[in-house]
A and B are shown apart, each in its own frame.
Chain A
Amino acid sequence: MNAPVAPLLEVRDVELRIGGLHILRGVTFDVRENEFFTVIGPNGAGKTSLLNVLSRIYHPTAGSVAFDGRPLLDVRRTGLADLGIARTFQNLALFEHMDVMDNVVLGRQRLMRSGVLTGAVWWGRARREEAEARQACEPLIDLLGLGDFLNRPIRDLPYGIKKRIELARALAVEPRLLLLDEPAAGMNDEETDELADWILTAKRELGLTVVMIEHDMGMVTRLGDRALVLDFGTVVTIESPRAAIADPRVISAYLGDETEEADDPTATGTVALGISRDQDRKAKHA
């Protein structure tokens, strides 16, 4: 590195306790601008909770988070989009009773201004804004192959399509930081590869910084610059994805205390950790 550039995201000593549970303990890391930062770890490690802290859904018990040099914990949840932070959700958070276009256009919410009265009158600002918003969403709809589904009711759509819609919606925010929570969950190999392509393209076109939680090690190794390994709310290590999945500490975190033979770490999928892809997917759908 030449001149030190301040990281886009600085997380320092974040503690999160909810009820009687100590979910995050002393989590500290940086994310550099334009980095593809991945977060991995066994179920229950606190990965989603970490993302919830970053997206202001949980307020940490202690610690600090700075985004672009300014304290994030002072910002309200509704201010995230303006700052340029967008996210997807592990269990999907689509607006199920609206159609695909409305869902994606909602990503433009912060950029639109018309109120209820202008909306009622329609002719003028409201109409113009709608046309502009739809035009802005067009490239995203194309990018994610959603064009064929525009007028279908969302509830009937396959899970994979729904995940894409949510991604399109997050991208419509025109964020600087994109938080993804297991975007490939429930997808087969083909869909996962496509998804990875799309995420990379979006990252390149929009100049994004990405923080992604994933279980799919193929995706993590393919896309990630670095991987943060979380276990029981603590950071086990932050290193390159390939190093991480071969790291004995990481393996034992996934498998408990049993030391198992690790397969070729460069193989795709979670085989490297001794968990077959099929088993993993089956476990998720159980």
Chain B
Amino acid sequence: MTEFLQTLTSGVALGSLYAVLALGFVIVARASGILNLAQGSFVVLGAYLAYALIHQAGLPFWAGVMVAMAAVALFAVLLEAFVLHRVSDHFAALLVTFGVTIAVAPVITGIWPGDSLNLGDPWALSVLRIGGIGITARDATLIPITAVLLLGFFLFFRYTRVGLSLRATAIDSEAAMAQGVSTRFVYGISWGIAGALGAFGGIMLSTTVGGGVRPGLEVYAFLALPVIILGGLESPLGAVVGGLIIGIVQQFAVSLVPESWGSGFSEVVPYLVMLAILLIRPAGLFGRREVRRA
């Protein structure tokens, strides 16, 4: 039983991380209608900037995190305003965002070389024991933070003017404009939030228990893409539920599967789940089939 709960807990932690990463995609998809593969660059930038601020500039951990998130949010806003703004169709937008991540990642890892840099997080390798279940200190913080984040999103979208503007623009940008909503502002906010989320995800991924600040972080952003298949490209709730499901399934799969299935199985599970979903229910859990009428 404890083993079950143990796996479940680590699954929830992993799922929270996936949810955060996936939310970044969802926010931009709702605003700009594109799959923003530059999210990968936000993850990388967040992790490495936090490292630079904490380790090199000597900022306290959480200050470094905040500043890094803000900086990446700014980067995202500028990216949308100066690059994506010029792109007129979804096809090119996807490729352009892909290009951004491809270009940014090697530059960042070139500036800060190393297989695993120490982020200097307060959790280090400490593990808490709650009722016989071990949970890393990082996860113990991550899960509540994610929950708070999500609650914040829910309230934000439902009850604030800005949140309503975002939803209105997603549904009908012309009507929203007619009501005085500035689409530029909406895009800016959405991308900024996505940048901050990506940075946060990147930082969490590169804590000591995560493996340190290292090359290849952008691939983790892509690992969140199956969540989108599961939860739908434009559903925040789908991102959360999908993330949790995939995280939990992944941890259970890893624990149940024999050694002979080899290394790297863990990282492949989300994609296998994705293929399974596509077989059974292509629209995912929350996305509705594109309203293709007849």
Contacts and interface: CB of A to CB of B under 8 A. Distances in A.
Chains A and B in contact, CB within 8 Å: yes
Interface in B238-294: 293-294
Interface in A178-236: none
B44 to A, nearest CB: 35
Interface residues of B, number: 2
Nearest to A56: B294
Contacts of A59: 293-294
B116 to A, nearest CB: 47
Interface in A64-108: 76-77
A233 to B, nearest CB: 16
B3 to A, nearest CB: 49
A18 B294 CA distance: 12
Contacts of B294: 56-59, 76-77
A237 to B, nearest CB: 28
Interface size class of A (residues with CB under 8 A): under 10
A40 B294 CA distance: 24
Contacts of B293: 18, 52, 57-59
Contacts, number: 11
Contacts of A18: 293
Interface in B132-168: none
Nearest to B171: A19
Contacts of A77: 294
A76 B293 CA distance: 11
Contacts of A52: 293
Interface in B217-244: none
Interface in A28-57: 52, 56-57
A79 to B, nearest CB: 11
A23 to B, nearest CB: 12
A52 B293 CA distance: 10
A154 to B, nearest CB: 16
Nearest to A16: B293
Contacts of A58: 293-294
A76 B294 CA distance: 8
A56 B294 CA distance: 6
A248 B240 CA distance: 58
B143 to A, nearest CB: 38
Interface string B39-67: 00000000000000000000000000000
Interface string A128-141: 00000000000000
Contacts of A76: 294
Nearest to A59: B294
A259 B202 CA distance: 66
A52 B294 CA distance: 9
B92 to A, nearest CB: 13
A18 B172 CA distance: 14
A36 to B, nearest CB: 26
B133 to A, nearest CB: 47
B177 to A, nearest CB: 15
Nearest to A19: B291
A57 B293 CA distance: 6
A58 B292 CA distance: 8
Interface string B78-114: 0000000000000000000000000000000000000
A280 B294 CA distance: 33
A52 B292 CA distance: 12
A58 B294 CA distance: 5
Nearest to A60: B294
A56 to B, nearest CB: 5
Nearest to B293: A58
A217 B294 CA distance: 31
A98 to B, nearest CB: 16
A51 to B, nearest CB: 13
A216 B127 CA distance: 77
Contacts of A57: 293-294
A271 to B, nearest CB: 31
Nearest to A58: B293
A134 to B, nearest CB: 29
Nearest to A55: B294
A38 B238 CA distance: 47
A54 to B, nearest CB: 11
A77 B294 CA distance: 7
A14 to B, nearest CB: 13
A57 to B, nearest CB: 6
A57 B291 CA distance: 11
B170 to A, nearest CB: 14
Interface in A263-285: none
A18 B292 CA distance: 11
A198 to B, nearest CB: 30
A18 B293 CA distance: 9
A59 B292 CA distance: 9
Interface of B: 293-294
6 contacts: A56-B294, A57-B293, A57-B294, A58-B294, A59-B293, A77-B294
Interface of A: 18, 52, 56-59, 76-77
Given A58-B294, A77-B294, 9 more contacts: A18-B293, A52-B293, A56-B294, A57-B293, A57-B294, A58-B293, A59-B293, A59-B294, A76-B294
- Top 8 A-B residue pairs of the complex, sorted by shortest distance between their CB atoms: A59-B294, A56-B294, A58-B293, A59-B293, A77-B294, A57-B294, A57-B293, A58-B294
